[in-house]
Copies of this chain bind each other. A is one copy, B any other.
Amino acid sequence: MVQGSRLKALVRDASFARLDADVQKLVGGKLLLVEHTVAEKLKSPYVPLAEMGAYLAESRGKRLRPTLLLLVSKTLGYEGDADVVYAAVYEFIHTATLIHDDIVDEALLRRGRPSLNSRWGPERAVLMGDYVFITAMHVAVTLGWSGVQPVVADAALGLIRGELIQSHRKWDLTITPKENLEIIHFKTAGLFAACARTPAFLVDAPREIHEALWDYGRFMGIAFQLVDDCLDFRSDEGTLGKPAGLDLKEGKVTLPLILMMENGTPRDRAFVEALVASRRFDPEILRELVDRVIESGMVDEAEAVARDYAAKAAKLCEMLPKGPARDVLARLPEFVIRRRF
C-alpha cells in the first residue's frame, strides 16, 4: 500500500510521532505524488523492465530525501509541481546506487525483500541500476531547463566518486577523520545538500538562501552518515536485524574505529591491526572488536560529532522564512540523530 511519510517507522521514540504527523500535514499529499511519479517513470511495455520497475516502486524506503526537498519547497513557498518531480529524481539516484551496492556486496535482501541482484541476477541488476540512474537524468532534463540540472548531475557524480574513494580505502587503517569526512561529503552529504538546495532554484531564491540550504543539507547528511556508522557498532539482532561490526567485515573503516586508532590504547590498536591483517571475522572476534570500540568511548565521540553537525544544520534554519515547514526542518536533524535503524 502506498502511504505518505515513513518517518515514524524509523524511530521507536514516541516523541517523533508528532514530527511525522507534522510532515504528513505539510507535505503528505506531495509525498504521495512522489510515489506516483516514481511508479510512473518506471513503467515500461517491456519485460523485464516492467517487472523490475514495479518491484522497485513497491519496495519503498524512508523517502528521507524527498521529504527534505518537499519541506524546503514548502518553506520557500513554491507553488508548482516540479518539486515532486525533482524529489523523484533524487530518489532514483539513491535507488540506483543501492541496486549497484547490492551487487557488489552480494546482498540478498534490501528493505526486507530479495535484492534485485538475488531475484534477477547480476546482469539485469547492473542494467537496471544503469536504467534507474539514467532515468533520473532523463526526468531532470525533460523537465526543461531550470538551472538545477547541473546540481543533479554533480550530486550523482559526487556520490559515485565517494563510493570509489571508499572502495579504494578499504582495509586502510591509516585513514584520517578529515579523509573520512571527505568520503562522507561525497557519498552521502552531497545528495542531501542537492535535495535541500533544489527548491531554491525553483523559486529563484537569493544567493544566501542557496548557500544556507546547501549547508543545511550537507550538515544533515554528514550527521546522518555518522550516525549510520555508529549504529553499525551499537546494533544487535534486536534493532537493526543484523549483527554489529559489519562495516569493518566489508573493509569499511568508519569514524569510531578511526578515532580509536588515533586515541586508543596500544593494545586496542594492535588488536585491530591483527584483525585487519588476518581478515578472520568470526562472530566472537567481531563481538570483541565492537566491545573494544564501544569501551574506548569512540562511538560516543563520533556520535558527539554527529550531534554537532545536526545542531549546525538546525541553526541554519533561522535563515529561512518562518512558518510550520521551517519548524519541521529545524527538528529534522535531531530526528536523524536519534533514529534507531
Contacts and interface: CB of A to CB of B under 8 A. Distances in A.
Interface of A: 44, 46-49, 96-97, 100, 103-104, 122-124, 126-131, 133-135, 137-138, 140-142, 145, 149-150, 152-154, 156-157, 160-161, 163-165, 167-168
A124 B128 CA distance: 18
A-B pairs, top 10 by smallest CB distance, nearest first, are A138-B153, A145-B145, A141-B149, A137-B137, A104-B123, A131-B160, A134-B156, A48-B168, A130-B160, A127-B164
Nearest to A103: B126
B133 A164 contact: no
B150 A135 contact: no
B150 A127 contact: no
A167 B123 CA distance: 8
The number of times this chain is found in the oligomer is: 2
Contact of A138 (B122, B124, B126, B154): B154
A155 to B, nearest CB: 10
Nearest to A49: B164
B165 A46 contact: yes
Nearest to A131: B160
Contacts of A138: 150, 153-154, 156-157
30 contacts: A46-B164, A46-B168, A48-B164, A48-B168, A49-B165, A100-B127, A126-B129, A127-B160, A127-B163, A128-B164, A129-B130, A130-B133, A131-B157, A131-B164, A133-B133, A133-B134, A134-B137, A134-B156, A134-B160, A137-B141, A137-B156, A138-B153, A141-B141, A141-B149, A141-B150, A141-B152, A141-B153, A142-B150, A145-B145, A149-B149
A123 B166 CA distance: 11
Contact of A100 (B97, B104, B130, B165): B130
A96, A152, A168 interface centre (most CB from chain B within 10 Å): A168
B126 A100 contact: yes
A334 B165 CA distance: 45
A158 to B, nearest CB: 10
Nearest to A47: B168
A122, A128, A153 interface centre (most CB from chain B within 10 Å): A153
A127 B165 CA distance: 10
A122 B104 contact: yes
Contacts of A149: 141, 149
A91 B156 CA distance: 19
B137 A49 contact: no
Contact of A49 (B49, B153, B161): B161
Nearest to A139: B153
B161 A46 contact: yes
B123 A137 contact: no
Contacts of A123: 104, 167
Contacts of A160: 127, 130-131, 134
A267 to B, nearest CB: 32
Given A49-B164, A140-B141, 10 more contacts: A46-B164, A47-B168, A123-B167, A124-B164, A127-B163, A133-B134, A134-B157, A135-B157, A137-B153, A142-B150
A182 to B, nearest CB: 9
